[in-house]
Amino acid sequence: MIIDENKEKVLGFNYDFYYHHGLITVNQRQLNKTSIPVEVGLSTATWVSKYGSITFSQFGVELPSAGMNEKGLSIVMLFHEEGQFPDNQNGSISELQWIQFQLDNYATVEEVISNLHLHTPSASFYCLHYSMLDAFGNSAIIEFIEGEASIYFNESPHIISNTSYKASINYALAKEKIEGKTNNDELTSLNRFMMGYQEMMDYSEEDTAIHILQKCSLPEKNQSIWQWIGQEIPQTYTAWTITFRPESKKIIYTTCSDKNEKIIDLNVLDFETIFNRSSLDVNNSFKGDVMNKFHKYDYQENKKIIRKSYQQLTDELTEDFLTELTHYPDNFH
């Protein structure tokens, strides 16, 4: 969702999934990159990162769920129930690496939209839709239905759950107000959208984006109705709550394991050389400014989150693939 907080537009994001481990990484500019093939036989994309960025990853470095680049462009993703990506003939990029590609290459939402035809995402696991905001206050929701892109530029209210934007808005306008929070098994994607929609409509200057997101969060260890990826319905919960502030180039986030607000300031980062790649475990007990808590990146950290994530989702990935994914960022120069 996007709200105005202290005269600044803020992109807020609840990351809901099976588990809450993850890694925050500082990604350098001027690196030569080649996309990870989504399927055997598909072509890959190549590019040189123009901008540095901060990203939140659970499935491997360079495969972020959310992030902001040095120009303030901020992008988050959500699972999209009706989504279907187009057939990509111009170099395949997975649904998560697509986020990194945009952060590497573009400074504004308008640039992302203008170049959308160059590389559309391909599903390695599931289809997503994307929410983004830039330092000029421009925003977009981008989703793909039956292979066609739907773009909602500077729409208000700017909020999505796991259902298509237009269907969600129509539902919210037609539905009577839900009083209070129902049990998680009653919170469909549309009802949850409506909760966020109502919070935005009732928003006051004394409130904060973090507070609104926390009111719409899924508590840990409660059964969710979403099928997601696995064969059994998992226990989905809000792992991370993140707010991106493109104008001031700052990120504030909390986790389900620690409600202390942690502040990341992109203004003080050096994106110049690969030797400055640094990282921080998402789950920590720090409070306030965490810039001096980052340390030199080690591939073992990437290995840790990859093993935790993929081995809980599927047993079809080979050891060679997991090793290749672990060392993938080490190939950049």
For residue 89, give the CATH number of its domain: 3.60.60.10
Is pTM, for the whole model, over 0.85? yes
174's enclosing H/E stretch is helix 165-174
Angle at 67 between CA 217 and CA 135, to 5 degrees: 105
Q: Rounded to whole angstroms, how far apart are CA atoms 35 and 109?
A: 22
3-state secondary structure of 80: coil
- Residue 233 pLDDT level (bands cut at 50, 70, 90): low
Cis bond leading into 121, ω under 30°? Answer: no
Give the type of residue at 312: Q
Say which range, 75-79, 144-148, 315-319, has the weakest mean pLDDT.
315-319
Residues in the chain: 333
Q: Mean pLDDT score of the chain, rounded to an integer?
A: 90
Query: pLDDT tens digits, residue range 262-303?
Result: 999 999 998 987 777 899 999 999 999 999 999 999 999 999
Please give the structure tokens belonging to residue 280. Answer: 């921080």
Section 11-37 average pLDDT = 94
CB of 133 within 8 A of CB of 152? no
**pLDDT of res. 226:** 45
Q: Which of 46-50, 62-66, 194-198 has the lowest mean pLDDT?
A: 194-198
pLDDT of residue 204: 83
Euclidean distance between CA atoms 324 and 179, whole angstroms: 49
Q: What is the pLDDT of residue 182?
A: 47
Number of Cβ atoms within 10 Å of the Cβ of 177: 10
The answer, yes or no, to whether residue 183 has pLDDT greater than 50, is: no
Contact present, 24 and 68 (Cβ < 8 Å): no
Name which residue leads in pLDDT, 162 or 224: 162
* pLDDT at residue 235 greater than cutoff 50: yes
Contact (CB, 8 A) for 109 and 68: no
CB-count exposure of residue 293 (10 Å: 0-12, 13-18, 19+) = middle
Per-residue pLDDT band at 175 (split at 50, 70, 90) = confident
Domain assignment of residue 18, given as a range: 2-331
Confidence of residue 147 (pLDDT cuts 50, 70, 90): very high
pLDDT of 10 > 60? The answer is yes
* Residue located via tokens 């059994």: 232
What is the count of structural domains for the chain?
Answer: 1
Q: Which two tokens stand for residue 333?
A: 């120069």
